[in-house]
Homo-oligomer: A and B are copies of this chain.
């Protein structure tokens, strides 16, 4: 039995004495211990070595004290398992030397055997569960199919993912074929994570907000809905769509357990747009953690009051930034814990 089940209670819509809190990228570059490991092992070595992934996942639990752990990994490991080469380059970020350009590129991708190609993630989950020893629940995650297509086609990060969008708008059938293949892989991958014991799943649609509502309903949402449908009887699913305020209504009726929102969507708008019943997660501006600690504490109280303490999970509106002082991150978590 979990010693701290606040997070699962909030996902389940149960009343809580205070909302749970965790931070996207909480095991990240703002932690000096993470930087020590980062300087020693390259990015995918850290992802692919269960001992390292476990160690990194535990760091914020021990140093910052959030109410949930999220497995250290990357959304792009799914593309790697499908047999795309994905590198992580200094000062560039993700780098795909041979991005998808045609149906024949897509045909070369496989729907992998998960234990064969992503077994290291499953090992990391089991190891992390042991180390956590029921202290807090463990979140597993995946990128949305649209967001993975963005990288697979663009070949690297981008402000507007213009090549990825051009691909969808001019080679629409090919785009759907790629999206379906990613979706099928993602469902297998997440079901295996569930089998290994994660307590919740979060889907990151980091680039959904680059699409118009109409195109979102063509290229992103139907594939996320497939994933929700495949998982909803097994585990609570959180959908986080950066910039996807316009889709909160349909998300609210999707069978997801909770919806992540970013800081451009006020608590009031988020409650209204999502239908008022579903658990919401967010939405502190990560840059606002650069404010003085007293201001952070006040802003956290205000945010909880605006969302309401129930059906609410305190989080940032996107990943924590590398330049956030550790004591500011801790002040964020501590503020939630001191809420009454």
Which residues of B have CB within 8 Å of A170?
290-292
Q: What 0/1 pattern do residues 230 to 257 of A give for CB contact below 8 A with B? A: 0000000000000101100000000000
* Minimum CB distance partner of A166 in chain B: B290
| A322-B169 Cα distance, complex, nearest whole Å | 16
Is A159 at the interface (CB under 8 A from chain B)? yes
**A162 interface neighbour in B166, B246, B287, Cβ under 8 Å:** B287
Interchain CB contact under 8 A, B169 and A266: no
Interchain CB contact under 8 A, B266 and A165: no
| A160-B287 Cα distance, complex, nearest whole Å | 9
Which residues of B have CB within 8 Å of A321?
160, 162
| A212-B323 Cα distance, complex, nearest whole Å | 20
Determine how many copies of this chain the complex contains. Answer: 2
Interchain CB contact under 8 A, B169 and A287: yes
Interchain CB contact under 8 A, B246 and A264: yes
Evaluate whether A287 and B246 lie within 8 angstroms (CB atoms) in the complex, with A209-B264, A212-B264, A264-B212 already known: no
* Minimum CB distance partner of A215 in chain B: B285
Is A269 at the interface (CB under 8 A from chain B)? yes
Evaluate whether A166 and B323 lie within 8 angstroms (CB atoms) in the complex, with A213-B264, A245-B245, A246-B265 already known: yes
Is A263 at the interface (CB under 8 A from chain B)? yes
Which residues of B have CB within 8 Å of A266?
212-214, 246
Is A15 at the interface (CB under 8 A from chain B)? no
Q: What 0/1 pattern do residues 140 to 171 of A give for CB contact below 8 A with B? A: 00000000000000000101101001100110
Q: Closest CB-CB distance, A293 to chain B, in whole Å?
A: 11
* Minimum CB distance partner of A246 in chain B: B264
Which residues of B have CB within 8 Å of A213?
264, 266
Is A108 at the interface (CB under 8 A from chain B)? no
Is A288 at the interface (CB under 8 A from chain B)? yes
Docked complex: A13-57 residues within 8 A CB-CB of B: none
Q: Closest CB-CB distance, A273 to chain B, in whole Å?
A: 10
* Minimum CB distance partner of A289 in chain B: B169
| A214-B285 Cα distance, complex, nearest whole Å | 11
Which residues of B have CB within 8 Å of A263?
212
Interchain CB contact under 8 A, A169 and B212: no
| A159-B287 Cα distance, complex, nearest whole Å | 13
* Minimum CB distance partner of A167 in chain B: B290
* Minimum CB distance partner of A292 in chain B: B170
| A84-B213 Cα distance, complex, nearest whole Å | 40
Most buried by B among A160, A211, A264: A264
Please name 19 pairs of A and B residues whose Cβ atoms are closer than 8 Å in the assembled complex, sorted by A.
A160-B287, A162-B287, A162-B321, A165-B287, A166-B290, A169-B287, A169-B291, A170-B292, A211-B264, A212-B263, A212-B264, A212-B266, A212-B288, A212-B317, A213-B266, A214-B266, A215-B288, A243-B264, A246-B265
Q: A162-B287, A169-B290 are in contact. List 7 more A-B contacts (CB 8 A).
A: A160-B321, A169-B287, A169-B291, A212-B285, A212-B288, A215-B288, A246-B265
Tell me the A residues contacting B by CB distance below 8 Å: 157, 159-160, 162, 165-166, 169-170, 209, 211-215, 243, 245-246, 263-266, 269, 285, 287-288, 290-292, 317, 321, 323
The 9 closest A-B pairs by CB, nearest first: A165-B287, A212-B263, A166-B290, A169-B291, A169-B290, A212-B285, A213-B266, A170-B290, A162-B321
